[in-house]
Amino acid sequence: MSNIGSYEERVKDFSWKTAEEELGYKEGEVINIGWHCTDRICKMGKAQKTALIWEGHGGEEKRYTFDDIRKATNTIGHYLKSIGIKSEDRVCLFMDKVPELYLGFLGVLKIGAIAQPLFSAFGDESLFVRLENAQTKAIITQRKHVGKVRKLLERTPFLEHIIIIDHDGLKPLKEREKAFDLEKAEWIDEFEIFPTKAESPSVLHYTSGTTGLPKGVKHVHYSIISQYLTAKWVLDLQDDDIYWCTADPGWVTGTSYGIIGAWSNGVTQCVLDAGFSADSWYKFIQKNKVTMWYSAPTAIRSLMKAGEELVKQYDLSSLRHLASVGEPLNAEAVIWSQRVFGKPFYDTYWQTETGSMMICNYPGMKVKPGSMGKVFPGVTGAVIDEKTFEPITEPNKPGLIGFRPGWPAMMRAYWNNEEIYKKKFANGWYLPGDKSTVDADGYYWFVGRDDDVINTAGHLVSPFEVESALLEHPAVAESAVVSKPDEVNMEVVKAFVTLKPGFEPDEDLELEIMNFIRKKLSPLAMPQEIEYLEKLPKTRSGKIMRRMLRAQEWGQDIGDTSTLDDE
């Protein structure tokens, strides 16, 4: 029997108080995500239950019980307080998927500070703009990544502490650096958490927009109400599950459902900190007897590419329920998974700003391959007319996805950017920036983005950020960045550039520019193709017509060109 039971019944009698009661929270009381995911679970009699099974490169394995993670998060919190970190200070977590990333996240929240998880493959420039915007006070990182932080010292006087979790003691620590070894530290059993309330800030996740710098999405401790219940009802997390969320906590899925959703439900989860390969993933599922698997369409398409014969080499019979997130899940992937795993991937739709799942497919409910599913109980959703901002009642007519504000995990602000935050709302609706249709049965069908943001492998890349970085390369005079279709990633970054006098287009220069972006921003932002042009298409007012370039890549009509400067 699934946790949600009948979707229709849940919608009919829904109240968020269901989650509040199950989490033991009453309005106005202290609510702290760190405490609810560790101490509370231990008080429920699950102290010795396995909380985390971690596997690193080369098969190294570590296991932690809920009592272990309770003490470890206490220890991290105690250390941060001892160096002067206070409530609402921003603490950046800049690590690979090592245990300290997961435990550090909750340790930061236990002292009322704000966790700022960042993808460890970010280059120094991507790291800088996010640290500067947040005025981050401390960063927890590894030896392999500290070089990027050191490059930024002159530009980050606000960054007081650089904490290295695996410092070997062989090389001297540099300015502002501290060594902290969780395994060698004296673990703290009793620790008084900071008395955060529902609206106390908890997490700052950064997301890319069409223009301007990445935006810091501020969430609060009350978000656990949504994250707990959606994990229970959509992912169907049950007490004896072995759960695997493949997302990196540098992205919102990796925190909302790779930390909070699982551990607030007292469920064992496993983490694989190794590069992707179909072999290693199947081996990991077989070895750990994974029962619930939450992954991304890009990974699923890569598994499809590896072929069905490979699947037969492994015993994947432990799998009970599969779900997907990050970008549209194409119908072919759902049908393929039904054929090879004996069960479909259930698509879920949400984003950094919503904090938790919004439109989903539910256990026991019919899956329509290619559909995002139906709106989560307690969330009011609609397809909105782009001109009137009123709900469209006609089935299958495209419009903007809209949600009525008020669900617990909704972002409370863009950090220091009230103006852009207000633009996300119209006529009482929150607008995620995606287009959809809804059919006569209430199922939503993704149509596309309402802006130029590039969704590559489920991660949003800002064309503006890549263009700005390209202009810093000595050979590049002008740049325009758009998406182009890709079989595995759905879309990837393509750059159009004009060169400065004295530079000639060739393959060596293309590779040099690509690597320049990879190091400065991230592998995700790196253009997969660079096309050299004599001049970029512009309007008479000098605005680059990216729309034309994108249409060209996607084989679409380039539309009105009456404003094009033909000189």
φ, ψ of residue 305 in degrees (nearest 5): -65, -35
Position 213 scores a pLDDT of 80
**Average pLDDT score over residue span 436-454:** 88
Match 């694989």 to its residue by tokens.
272
**Does a structural domain hold residue 180?**
no
Model confidence band, residue 563 (pLDDT cutoffs 50, 70, 90)? very low
- If asked whether residues 334 and 482 sit together in one domain, one would say no
Match 């782009």 to its residue by tokens.
386
Specify which of 18-27, 323-332, 522-531 reaches the highest per-range mean pLDDT. 18-27
Position 545 scores a pLDDT of 80
Structure tokens at 490: 């759905």
Q: Is the pLDDT of residue 452 over 90?
A: no
- Please identify, among 437, 470, 499, the residue that sits at the C-terminal boundary of a domain: 437
Position 551 scores a pLDDT of 86
**Does a structural domain hold residue 89?**
yes
Measured distance CA(283)–CA(303) in Å, rounded = 13
- If asked whether residues 497 and 416 sit together in one domain, one would say no
Residue type, 432: P
| Residue count of the chain | 567
- If asked whether residues 389 and 478 sit together in one domain, one would say no
**Does a structural domain hold residue 211?**
no
Q: What angle do CA 265, 367, 433 make, to 5 degrees?
A: 75
- If asked whether residues 70 and 111 sit together in one domain, one would say yes
Q: pLDDT by residue (tens digit) across 315-332?
A: 999 999 999 998 888 888
φ, ψ of residue 211 in degrees (nearest 5): -130, 160
- Please choose, from the candidates 360, 341, 335, the residue with its C-alpha nearest in 3D space to the C-alpha of residue 290: 341
Measured distance CA(188)–CA(210) in Å, rounded = 45
Query: Starting at the edge strand that comes first in sequence, how are the strands of the sheet with 476-486 ordered?
Result: 476-486, 490-499, 529-532
- Please identify, among 368, 403, 437, the residue that sits at the C-terminal boundary of a domain: 437
- If asked whether residues 337 and 486 sit together in one domain, one would say no
Q: Is the pLDDT of residue 543 over 80?
A: no
**Average pLDDT score over residue span 249-256:** 96
Structure tokens at 31: 């609510």
3-state SS assignment for residue 368: coil
**Average pLDDT score over residue span 71-90:** 98
Position 565 scores a pLDDT of 59
Q: Is the pLDDT of residue 302 over 80?
A: yes
- Please identify, among 437, 465, 492, the residue that sits at the C-terminal boundary of a domain: 437
Report the CATH number that the domain containing residue 460 is assigned in CATH.
Answer: 3.30.300.30
* pLDDT > 70: percent of the chain: 97
- If asked whether residues 412 and 469 sit together in one domain, one would say no
**Average pLDDT score over residue span 175-187:** 96
Mean pLDDT (the chain) is: 93
Question: Which residues span the domain enclosing 101?
Answer: 7-120+127-171+188-206+220-437
Q: pLDDT by residue (tens digit) across 497-513?
A: 999 889 999 999 999 99
**Does a structural domain hold residue 447?**
no
| 1 CB-near residues (< 8 Å, 6+ apart) | none
**Does a structural domain hold residue 215?**
no
- If asked whether residues 28 and 133 sit together in one domain, one would say yes
Q: What share of the chain is helix, strand, coil (3-state, %, to 5)?
A: 30, 25, 45
- If asked whether residues 233 and 374 sit together in one domain, one would say yes
Q: Is the pLDDT of residue 516 over 80?
A: yes
Position 505 scores a pLDDT of 93
- If asked whether residues 268 and 392 sit together in one domain, one would say yes
Measured distance CA(269)–CA(263) in Å, rounded = 8
Q: Is the pLDDT of residue 567 over 60?
A: no
Position 403 scores a pLDDT of 98
- Secondary structure E strands in 103-179: 114-117, 138-141, 161-164, 177-179
**Does a structural domain hold residue 34?**
yes
**Does a structural domain hold residue 330?**
yes
- If asked whether residues 419 and 326 sit together in one domain, one would say yes
Q: Is the pLDDT of residue 562 over 50?
A: no
Report the CATH number that the domain containing residue 265 is assigned in CATH.
Answer: 3.40.50.12780
Lowest-confidence region among 429-443, 463-477, 539-553: 539-553
Q: Is the pLDDT of residue 542 over 70?
A: no
Position 471 scores a pLDDT of 87
Q: At what angle do helices 124-134 and 507-520 cross, to 10 degrees?
A: 30
Position 463 scores a pLDDT of 83
φ, ψ of residue 223 in degrees (nearest 5): -60, -25
The number of folded domains in the chain is: 2
User: Do the Cβ atoms of 102 and 34 come closer than 8 Å?
Assistant: no
Q: Is the pLDDT of residue 547 over 70?
A: yes
H/E run at residue 358 = none
**Does a structural domain hold residue 84?**
yes
Lowest-confidence region among 104-118, 224-238, 438-452: 438-452
**Average pLDDT score over residue span 336-350:** 96
User: Do the Cβ atoms of 113 and 85 come closer than 8 Å?
Assistant: yes
- If asked whether residues 465 and 375 sit together in one domain, one would say no
Position 71 scores a pLDDT of 98
Position 193 scores a pLDDT of 98
**Average pLDDT score over residue span 333-345:** 95
Q: pLDDT by residue (tens digit) across 372-414?
A: 999 999 999 999 999 999 999 999 999 999 999 999 999 999 9
φ, ψ of residue 403 in degrees (nearest 5): -130, 140
Position 381 scores a pLDDT of 98
Position 539 scores a pLDDT of 67
**Average pLDDT score over residue span 174-182:** 96
- If asked whether residues 469 and 550 sit together in one domain, one would say yes
DSSP 110-124: HTT-EEEE--TT--H
End-to-end CA distance of the chain: 68
User: Do the Cβ atoms of 470 and 495 come closer than 8 Å?
Assistant: yes
Residue type, 225: I
Position 458 scores a pLDDT of 79
Position 79 scores a pLDDT of 98
3-state secondary structure 293-327: EEECHHHHHHHHHHCHHHHCCCCCCCCCEEEECCC
Q: Is the pLDDT of residue 428 over 90?
A: yes
Model confidence band, residue 58 (pLDDT cutoffs 50, 70, 90)? confident
